[in-house]
């Protein structure tokens, strides 16, 4: 919950005054559409070349909707009507969904070739072994729970709180990869020494996505918690527990997880990097509860020399954890561990377990079907072996002039952002100069790493899918923890090249755009530049703005967590941020389901700043390289905003909307489009939205 580096994503991927809520009077009559100039013969040739692109853009529109009333519906209504949501996708969009589908088809072909070749090439051999084992359903079904029996046997060693810590350390190392029972462990650069890796220990240990699912008392939440308890009981049956025993143990497990949830700090309060920075070291962690057997944990975990290089994100959680463990009977602790071993492993086990596990996933997300086997295997390969399969992916999906064009766009957006800083009257000159220095020091990574990750120590087999998954998690864990106390690899990527996402990393002051997202409808070397700037340009502006959101602004140009703002300027920033927080906090996405303005603040600031920076970058680029309108009926400025919005056209189940309102730091797609645009004067000018229109807020918020 507190991880900062890859958390500043565009998906999972933000005011001079805010005195009153947005105007709610009826919108003014719709203006006449802004006509594009008639094309010349040369322009007509260009239009023919862009016809497939233009046809897709126009087909996605709902021209019966006034763009000044609901721009999301105007831009996306045609796509929403013509595109049925896939039964296995609780959330599916014209951008992330369709691009992921296309990328997955490429990855599938790569993996199938590797599995069929049985090559001696080390990369192809690893990919082929993983995919062959993953797709061998008969062998997986025959194995049943055999792959996790050795892990389950370790649980019998739990006799009390002390032995529990020893057992959990071993399970973390062998199965959970640090994200196991009781708490999370991971490695990142030290926020105050960004050139050195340190370990982090964070609150965790619950099976549901957030503490609210245990602690809220409304009827829907209570029903979901009851369904979770029934799910735990059903799953324990696969481990051999009789129904009545499983039912009793499930109740105890859920009660124990509820107690863990009560110790946790709410998600929206975990966003302050100053509060989650507590470099206590192992000694300081142990002093929070001297009775808790941390020595036994780290010994079985395999890392006893972390020393001072350990950050404790929530000391209060670990002050209270030991008392809970000592007050819980060993039988419950064993059942809790058995459940989490099965929960984490379920997707890699036999079909009956996978299907049972999906029953609860369906209740939580609204997915109607399980995704095809090949698609799940491709997803696991992409996340676990991303820089192996990514090497072939970029050759097929990121060639030609793509990287040069993307870098050209980023340069324009960064230049425009810097040029806009002097206009911010709320900043003093000293803070503005430091902000300018940070913007100029920003490092960009496009497409794929300059140096690929070394997987030489990873051993995979053509049989034993669950075992391969365990091996990958263990490999990644050891790779990370072996680096604690050592210099940071500045060339490292935190996302695989084929992933449809992007991120800002504050400790390195860098933006990263994998080849996976540098695809239509976000980007193409063949697109009009207005469309590119509206699509991937907005993503670039979004990530750039993360460097100056409520979290990113606390890191200086070198990635050091320190105060570099004048106090009076910081106070003015908070006032403008509060405007955005209040604007989103009042939005009801479903009956009785409101957005959390605090949780989504950083992403919303990045959305507000992103669209402004992308538009300014486009206008700057167009002033140097003019481009006539290339989709008939639309001006280039209109195409910019439509290109932005159409990347967010999305179907989503009510269950998924409720879940994301609790756990997702991003606002829903419709709000990500409509709210920033309603506060952006250039949008109103482009579509001639009159005062009083829904898409022209009366009292606007602005930060950057």
pLDDT of residue 21 exceeding 70 = no
pLDDT interval class at 205 (50, 70, 90): very high
pLDDT of residue 49 exceeding 90 = no
Q: What is the predicted pLDDT for the residue at 117? A: 84
Q: Which residue has the higher pLDDT, 10 or 23?
A: 10
Two tokens at 142? 């025959």
Give the mean model confidence (pLDDT) for residues 661-680.
97
Longest dimension (CA), the chain: 83
To the nearest whole number, what is the mean pLDDT of the chain?
A: 92
Query: Catalytic: 543?
Result: yes
pLDDT of residue 3 exceeding 60 = no
Two tokens at 482? 């072996």
Q: What is the predicted pLDDT for the residue at 118? A: 75
Two tokens at 145? 């729970």
Two tokens at 21? 């809520």
pLDDT interval class at 32 (50, 70, 90): very low
- DSSP sequence for 310-370: EEES-HHHHHHHHHHHHTS-HHHHHHHHHHHHHHHHGGGS-HHHHHHHHHHHHHHH---SP
Is beta strand 510-514 parallel, antiparallel or unpaired with respect to 593-594?
Answer: unpaired
pLDDT of residue 34 exceeding 60 = no
Chain-centre distance for alpha carbon 195:
24
Residues 88-104 as b/e (b if ≥16 CB within 10 A, e otherwise) read bbbbbbbbbbbbbeebb
The tens digit of pLDDT for each residue in 485-533 reads 999 999 999 999 999 999 999 999 999 999 999 999 999 988 999 999 9
3-class SS letters over 402-461: HHHHHHHHHHHHHHHHHHHHHHCCCCCHHHHHHHHHHHHHCEEEEECCCCCCCCCCCCCC
Q: What is the predicted pLDDT for the residue at 30? A: 33
Sign of CA pseudo-dihedral 332, 334, 340, 343: negative
Backbone angles phi, psi at 570, to 5 degrees: -60, -40
The tens digit of pLDDT for each residue in 308-336 reads 999 999 999 999 999 999 999 999 999 99
Residues above pLDDT 90, as percent of the chain = 88
The tens digit of pLDDT for each residue in 131-146 reads 999 999 999 999 999 9
Residues above pLDDT 70, as percent of the chain = 93
pLDDT of residue 45 exceeding 50 = no
Strand partners, 202: 184
pLDDT interval class at 609 (50, 70, 90): very high
Is beta strand 503-505 parallel, antiparallel or unpaired with respect to 510-514?
Answer: antiparallel
The tens digit of pLDDT for each residue in 333-379 reads 999 999 999 999 999 999 999 999 999 999 999 999 999 999 999 99
Is beta strand 593-594 parallel, antiparallel or unpaired with respect to 650-652?
Answer: unpaired
Which range has the worst mean pLDDT, 22-31, 260-269, 459-468? 22-31
Give the mean model confidence (pLDDT) for residues 224-229.
98
C-alpha distances out from residue 404 to 310, 390, 410, 611, 620, Å:
40, 19, 10, 22, 17
Give the mean model confidence (pLDDT) for residues 37-57.
54
Q: Which residue has the tokens 């990369």?
A: 123
pLDDT of residue 44 exceeding 50 = no
Which range has the worst mean pLDDT, 71-85, 585-599, 625-639, 664-678? 625-639
Two tokens at 9? 């994503």
C-alpha distances out from residue 668 to 526, 649, 660, Å:
29, 10, 8
Two tokens at 139? 């062998």
Q: CA 335, CA 163: separation in Å to the nearest integer?
A: 14
pLDDT of residue 4 exceeding 60 = no
pLDDT of residue 412 exceeding 70 = yes
pLDDT of residue 51 exceeding 80 = no
pTM (two decimals): 0.91
pLDDT interval class at 1 (50, 70, 90): very low
Give the mean model confidence (pLDDT) for residues 589-598.
95
Q: What is the predicted pLDDT for the residue at 313? A: 98
Q: Which residue has the tokens 């979290």?
A: 551
Residue 48 neighbours by CB under 8 Å, 6+ apart: none
Are the C-beta atoms of 492 and 386 separated by less than 8 Å? no
Give the mean model confidence (pLDDT) for residues 19-45.
34
The tens digit of pLDDT for each residue in 233-268 reads 999 999 999 999 999 999 999 999 999 999 999 999
Q: What is the predicted pLDDT for the residue at 52? A: 73
Q: Which of 607, 637, 664, 702 is catalytic?
A: 607
pLDDT of residue 20 exceeding 80 = no
pLDDT of residue 271 exceeding 70 = yes
Q: Is residue 276 helix, strand or coil?
A: coil
pLDDT interval class at 186 (50, 70, 90): very high
Give the mean model confidence (pLDDT) for residues 530-553.
96
Q: Which of 184, 510, 543, 637 is catalytic?
A: 543
Residue 513 neighbours by CB under 8 Å, 6+ apart: 406, 444, 445, 446, 447, 502, 536, 539, 540, 543
Are the C-beta atoms of 8 and 551 separated by less than 8 Å? yes
Which range has the worst mean pLDDT, 3-7, 171-175, 592-596? 3-7
Burial, 548: exposed, middle or buried (Cβ in 10 Å; 0-12, 13-18, 19+)? buried
Q: What is the predicted pLDDT for the residue at 207? A: 97
């Amino acid at each position: 919950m507190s991880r900062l580096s890859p958390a500043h994503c565009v998906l999972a991927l933000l005011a001079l005054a805010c005195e009153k809520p947005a105007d709610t009077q009826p919108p003014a009559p719709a203006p006449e559409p802004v006509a594009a100039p008639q094309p010349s013969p040369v322009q007509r040739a260009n239009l023919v070349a862009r016809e497939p692109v233009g046809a897709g853009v126009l087909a996605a529109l709902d021209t019966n909707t006034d763009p000044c009333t609901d721009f999301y519906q105007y831009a996306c209504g045609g796509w929403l009507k013509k595109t049925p949501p896939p039964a296995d996708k609780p959330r599916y969009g014209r951008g992330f969904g369709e691009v992921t589908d296309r990328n997955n088809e490429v990855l599938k072909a790569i993996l199938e070739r590797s599995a069929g070749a049985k090559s001696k090439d080390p990369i192809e051999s690893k990919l082929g072994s993983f995919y062959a084992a993953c797709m061998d359903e008969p062998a997986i079904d025959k194995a049943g729970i055999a792959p996790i029996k050795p892990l389950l046997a370790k649980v019998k060693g739990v006799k009390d709180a002390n032995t529990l810590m020893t057992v959990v350390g071993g399970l973390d190392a062998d199965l959970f990869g640090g994200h196991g029972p009781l708490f999370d462990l991971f490695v990142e650069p030290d926020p105050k020494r960004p050139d050195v890796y340190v370990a982090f220990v964070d609150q965790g240990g619950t099976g549901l996505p957030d503490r609210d699912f245990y602690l809220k008392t409304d009827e829907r939440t209570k029903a979901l918690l009851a369904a979770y308890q029934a799910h735990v009981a059903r799953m324990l049956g696969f481990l051999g527990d009789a129904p009545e025993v499983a039912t009793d143990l499930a109740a105890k497990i859920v009660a124990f997880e509820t107690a863990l949830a009560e110790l946790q700090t709410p998600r929206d309060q975990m966003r302050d990097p100053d509060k989650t920075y507590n470099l206590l070291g192992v000694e300081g962690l142990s002093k929070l509860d001297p009775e808790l057997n941390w020595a036994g944990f780290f010994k079985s975990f395999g890392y006893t020399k972390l020393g001072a290089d350990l950050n404790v994100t929530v000391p209060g959680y670990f002050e209270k954890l030991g008392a809970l463990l000592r007050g819980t009977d060993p039988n419950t602790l064993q059942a809790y561990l058995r459940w989490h071993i099965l929960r984490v492993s379920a997707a890699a086990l036999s079909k009956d377990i996978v299907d049972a596990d999906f029953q609860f996933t369906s209740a939580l997300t609204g997915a109607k079907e399980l995704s095809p086997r090949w698609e799940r295997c491709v997803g696991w390969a992409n996340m676990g072996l991303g820089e192996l399969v990514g090497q072939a992916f970029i050759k097929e999906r990121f060639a030609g002039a793509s990287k040069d064009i993307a870098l050209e766009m980023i340069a324009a957006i960064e230049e425009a952002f810097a040029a806009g800083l002097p206009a911010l009257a709320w900043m003093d000159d000293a803070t503005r100069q430091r902000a300018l220095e940070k913007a100029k020091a920003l490092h960009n990574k496009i497409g794929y790493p300059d140096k690929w990750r070394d997987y030489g120590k990873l051993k995979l087999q053509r049989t034993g899918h669950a075992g391969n998954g365990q091996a990958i998690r263990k490999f990644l864990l050891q790779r990370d923890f072996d680096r604690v106390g050592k210099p940071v690899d500045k060339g490292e990527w935190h996302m695989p090249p084929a992933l449809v996402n992007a991120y800002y990393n504050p400790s390195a002051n860098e933006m990263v755009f994998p080849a996976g997202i540098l695809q239509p409808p976000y980007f193409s070397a063949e697109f009009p530049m207005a469309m590119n700037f509206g699509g991937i340009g907005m993503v670039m502006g979004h990530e750039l703005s993360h460097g100056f959101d409520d979290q990113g602004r606390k890191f200086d140009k070198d990635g050091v967590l320190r105060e570099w703002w004048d106090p009076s300027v910081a106070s003015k920033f908070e006032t403008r941020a509060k405007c955005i927080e209040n604007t989103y906090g009042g939005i009801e996405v479903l009956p009785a389901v409101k957005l959390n303005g605090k949780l989504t603040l950083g992403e919303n600031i990045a959305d507000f700043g992103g669209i402004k920076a992308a538009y300014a970058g486009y206008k700057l680029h167009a002033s140097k390289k003019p481009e006539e309108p290339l989709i008939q009926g639309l001006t280039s400025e209109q195409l910019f905003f439509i290109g932005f919005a159409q990347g967010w056209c999305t179907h989503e189940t009510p269950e998924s909307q409720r879940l994301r309102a609790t756990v997702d730091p991003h606002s829903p797609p419709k709000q990500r489009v409509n709210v920033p645009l309603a506060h952006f004067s250039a949008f109103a000018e482009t579509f001639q939205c009159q005062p009083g229109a829904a898409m022209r807020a009366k009292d606007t918020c602005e930060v950057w």
